[in-house]
Chain A
Amino acid sequence: MSKVLKSIYMPILAVVIAIIIGSIIMLATGFNPVAAYTSLFIGAFGTFPNIANTLANAVPLIITGLGVAIAFNAGLFNIGAEGQYWIGAIVGTWIGYYFKGLPWYIHIPFALIAAMVAGGLWGGIIPGFAKAYTGAHEVITTMMMSYVAIYFSHYLLEFGPMMEKGSVPQSPLIKDSAVIPTIVPNTQLSYGIVIALVAALFVYWLMYKTVWGYEMRAVGFNQRASKYAGMNVPFNIVLSLSLSGIFAGLAGAVQILGVQHRLYDSFTSGYGYTAIVVALLAKNNPIGVVFSALLFAALGTGSQYMQLNAQVPGQLTDVITGLIIFFVAADKIIELFKTMFKKQKKEELAS
C-alpha cells in the first residue's frame, strides 16, 4: 500500500502545485480562484450529464494514453499517436459505412480490429523497423508518419473517395450496425468507456505480468543488458511500437463508432498529443493512465462551464495543463520544494 502511495504522491503533488499557481495567476489577473475552481468542478462533475461527458472525453485519452505508455515503458517516444489515431479513425469510418447488412456483433469488432491493425502498422511497422534496423529515431519517424496520416485524411475527405455527396468535407455516416451504443442518453458517453477500462486492465496485465511485458520493459530500461540476457532487442522495439499504434488506432475507431459516427475534416484531434501528457502524468502506469486521462478530460469539459459562469477564460485550463506538465517533467523542482519544506520544519522544531 505504501508503495502505491509513494508512486502516486509526486504526480498528485504536481497537480496540486499547478492548481495553486493557477490561483495565483487568477488573483493577479483579477479573477476569483475559488469561484473559478468551483465552476470548473461543477462543469466537470456537477451534474449527471456533466459526469457522463467527462467520462466520454476520457475514453480516447485513456486508450491513446495506454498506447503512448506502452512505448514509454519500452524506452520509446511515440510522438505520432495522433497520426495512428487518425488512421484508426479513417479505417473505422470506412468499414462503418461501406459494409452493409452485418450484425452489430460482427460489424463493431470488425471495424475495431481493422483500425487496430492499421494503427499498429502505421506506428509499428514503418517507424519500428526503421528504428530497429537503421536506428532512425522514432520521434522523427512517428511524427512524419503522423503528418502523412492527417494529410491523407484531408485528401480522402476534401473531394476524395471518402467524401459524402455535397460540399461539406466529411465522410458519410456509419451504419447503425457499427454504432457503439450510448449509455447515458443525450450525452456522449458510450460503451466505449468499457472498452477503455478493459484495455487499461489488459495493458497492465500485459506489461507487468507477462513475459512480453517483461521483455519490453527490460529493453526499455537497458538494451545492452537485454541483449546480453539473450533477448531479441529489434523484435521488442517493433513489438512495442506496434502495440502503441494498435491502441492509438483503437482510440480513433472507438471515437468514430461511439461518438462522432463520421469523420470530419480537421487538422488535429488533439488526443494524440494530450495522450503524451496523460502517460507522463501517469508515470506510464496503465491504471494511472485512467485517472490522469480523467483529470485532463475534466479540465476540458469543466473549462467551458467555467468560462460561462465565472467569466474566467477557458484558456486558463490550458495554463494549468501546462503547469502540470512542467512539474511532472521537473520532478527535481518538487524534490527541492520538499527539502525546503522539511528544513523549515526541522528548524522550527529545533528552535
Chain B
Amino acid sequence: MSALLEVKNITKIFPKVRANDGVNLTVEEGEIHAILGENGAGKSTLMNIIYGLYKPDSGELKLSGETLNLSGPHEAIEKGIGMVHQHFMLIPVLTVAENIVLGAEPGGISYNKKKANELIREISKNYHLEIDPDAKVKDLSVGLQQRVEILKAFYRHAKLLILDEPTAMLTPQETEELFGIMRRLKEQGISIIFISHKLDEVKEISDKVTVMRRGKTVGTLNTKDTNEQELANLMVGREVVLRVEKSEYKPGDVVLSVKDLTVADEQNIEKVKNVSFEIRGGEIFGLAGIDGNGQTELIEALMGLRQIKSGVIKYQNSDIEKLPTRERYKLGISYIPQDRQQEGLIMKFSVADNLILKEYKDSRYSKNGVIQYKKVFENASKKVEEYDIRPTDYTLLAGNLSGGNQQKIILAREVGSNPKLLIAVQPTRGMDVGAIEYIHKKLLELRDGGSAILLVSLELEEIMSLSDRIGVIHNGVIMDVLDGKSATREKIGLLMAGSQIDAKEVEV
C-alpha cells in the first residue's frame, strides 16, 4: 500500500480560533480511515481544506505524491476527491440521475437523458450501489439519498471518498447497509475518510483511526490494536466513564399512567394504537423503537401538542389529556424535544431568554407582565455555571453556541426545574462522548432524586444502559415491556421489528 493522501502540518486560523493547528494525516490506498473527535475538534475544517473549500494558512497537501494547491472544490473533484456532506446537497424535485450528473451532464447543449441513465446504471453496477435513476430524490429514504451522494462522487471518478458523519441521520439498519457499501468500496481500492464521533462505529468499520482534539491530531492508531476506552480518553483528553454507573432501582409511586391511548396523524391515520403503560417515580422508562413507529405522535400527545383520539393520560392521579401544553409544564412535567434547534430553542434569543422560555410568565421572572431582567440574569448566571454552558456570556444568542452547549441550555431549563416527570427524546443525539456522559449523569441524578423519566431514543445502547424498564414500540403498539437488567439486544431488536412470537421463543 502507498499513501494516497498526505496532510502535512496544516494550520488554519479563524478569527480567535486555531481550527487546525499542525495537523498531520496519511491515508493509504484502499483503507478506511476514521477521523474521531468531539464537536469543534477541527474535523470539519480539515475536511473542508482537503476538499478545497478552505485554503490552509500553512502546511502541505499531497495526493498520490503530487502537491495540491486547491482553489476550490471543483479542483478537488477533478483530482478525484469526493465528499458526502452530513447535510445532503441534493435537489429534491429532480430525479436521481439528474442530481448525479448535475454540473457535468452528458450531451451537448441538450441534456442526454438516456446516456445519463446508462452511465448511472453502469456506475451503480460497478460499485454495487443499486438505485433507480428515474426516481425523484424527494421520494427516497435518507439512506438512499446518501447513496445518491456517494454515486455523485463516483460519477466524477473519485478515488478518495470523504464521508462527514454519514451515520448521523441513518437508522441502525441503514447504517449496517452503509458499512457494507464501504467494505465493498474498500475492496475495490477506494480510500475512505470516515468522520464520526461514535466509538462503536469507528471500531467496527475503520482500519485506522486518527483522533483530533482542539484542532490538533492527537495520534493515529491501528483500529484493531485499540479499544473504545482508549479512543474516548484520547478524544476528550481525560479518563471518560463509558459505562453508566447506576444506583439501585427503587421505584416509587406511579407518576404517569397512560391507558388505551390512540393518536392519529394529520392524515387521520392512527399512529398510536391503544397504548397503555405506567412510569413510576425513581425510574427511567426507555421507549425503544425504529424511527417513525409512533414515538413522535405519542410524545406530542403526552405534551398536549397533538390531540388524542381516545384514551386517558393520568399524571399524579389527575387526568391531563385535555390540558394545554403550558398547564402541563406548570404541573411539573419537563420535555426535551428531539430537535433542539427547531423545537427546543429560539436560536435568535439570548441564552438567558432561552433559559426562561417556559417560565417567563412565572412570578419568579415577571411581575404584572413586565419581565424582571435582573432575576432572569441571576437565573442565567446560576444555570450557566451549574450546567457548564460555554461560553459563559449568557447574553450571546443561542444560535452562536455549539450543539453540545445548546443542548445544555435545554437541559438546564428542563432538568434544572426539578420536574416530577421528564420526557426526553433523543437527548444525546449528535452529541460527543463528553457531552453524552454529562447528560446521562444528569438524567440519573434526576432519577435518583425520585423523578420519573420517559426516555425515547433510537440508540439501543443508550436505552439499554440507562433504562430500568424498556417498552418497545412497533407500528404504534407497545409490543412488550421488558426488565432493563435482563433485556438483551436481540430480544429488543426482534420486538422493534415487530415479531412478538419470535421474541417470546427466544425467551424460552
Contacts and interface: CB of A to CB of B under 8 A. Distances in A.
Interface of A: 209-212, 214-215, 217-218, 221-222, 224-231
Interface residues of B, number: 28
Contacts of B361: 211
B248 to A, nearest CB: 34
Nearest to A3: B395
B346 A225 contact: yes
Contacts of A210: 366, 369-371
Nearest to B362: A211
Contacts of B305: 227-228
A48 to B, nearest CB: 39
Interface in B345-388: 345-349, 353, 357-358, 360-361, 366, 369-371, 373
Contact of A229 (B327, B357, B366, B371): B357
A221 B366 contact: no
Given A229-B358, A230-B329, A224 B371 contact: no
A230 B300 CA distance: 12
A49 B326 CA distance: 55
A218 B354 CA distance: 10
Nearest to A213: B371
A6 to B, nearest CB: 12
Contacts of B373: 209
10 contacts: A210-B366, A210-B369, A211-B360, A217-B349, A221-B348, A222-B342, A224-B343, A229-B358, A230-B325, A230-B358
B346 A222 contact: yes
A209 B375 CA distance: 13
Interface of B: 303, 305, 324-329, 335, 337, 342-349, 353, 357-358, 360-361, 366, 369-371, 373
Contacts of B348: 221-222
Interface centre among A214, A215, A231 (most CB of B within 10 A): A214
Contacts of A222: 342, 345-348
Contacts of B335: 228
Contacts, number: 60
Contacts of A217: 349
Contact of B360 (A214, A225, A227, A228): A214
Contacts of B343: 224-225, 228
B346 A228 contact: no
Contact of A218 (B324, B326, B349, B370): B349
Ordered nearest first, which 7 A-B pairs have the shortest CB separation? A230-B326, A230-B325, A221-B348, A229-B357, A228-B343, A221-B346, A222-B346
A52 to B, nearest CB: 36
A229 B329 CA distance: 9
Contacts of B344: 225, 228
B425 to A, nearest CB: 11
B371 A209 contact: yes
Contacts of A227: 305, 325
A298 B360 CA distance: 41
Contact of A230 (B324, B347, B371): B324
A230 B305 CA distance: 8
Contacts of A229: 325, 357-358
Nearest to A208: B371
A209 B370 CA distance: 6
Contact of B357 (A209, A212, A218, A224): A218
A231 B326 CA distance: 7
Nearest to B343: A228
A3 to B, nearest CB: 8
Contact of A226 (B327, B329, B346): B346
B358 A211 contact: no
Contacts of A221: 346-349
Contacts of A225: 342-346, 357
B371 A211 contact: yes
A211 to B, nearest CB: 5
Given A228-B325, A228-B337, A229-B357, A212 B345 contact: no
A214 B365 CA distance: 12
Contacts of B360: 211, 214-215
